[in-house]
Amino acid sequence: MTPDRIDVPADDYAALADALASDQSPVGIDAKKTHVVIIHLLLDLQDRLARLEQRLDSLDA
């Protein structure tokens, strides 16, 4: 992984931090919301990979 890959633009970072923030949590984030966001993104990646695999399979045929 390159440093550019993990360098989050300040605006994106602030938006994510605001969305996940929690005054009720000792670590400052809403763990449940954070996990939901991560799972949502993983499911999106899974769908995208499936579509790519289908396209590759159609090229092989």
pLDDT digits (tens, 9 = 90+) for 15-27: 999 999 999 999 9
More confident residue, 43 or 5: 43
Q: End-to-end CA distance of the chain: give it in Å, rounded.
A: 34
Contact in structure between 33 and 20 (CB atoms under 8 Å): yes
Mean pLDDT for the stretch of residues 25-50? 95
Phi, psi (deg, nearest 5) at residue 30: -85, 105
The percent of residues above 90 in pLDDT, for the chain, comes to 82
Mean pLDDT for the stretch of residues 29-42? 94
The percent of residues above 70 in pLDDT, for the chain, comes to 95
- Which pLDDT value is given to residue 31? 95
List the structure tokens of 42: 């993983």
* Bridge partners for 21 per DSSP: 29
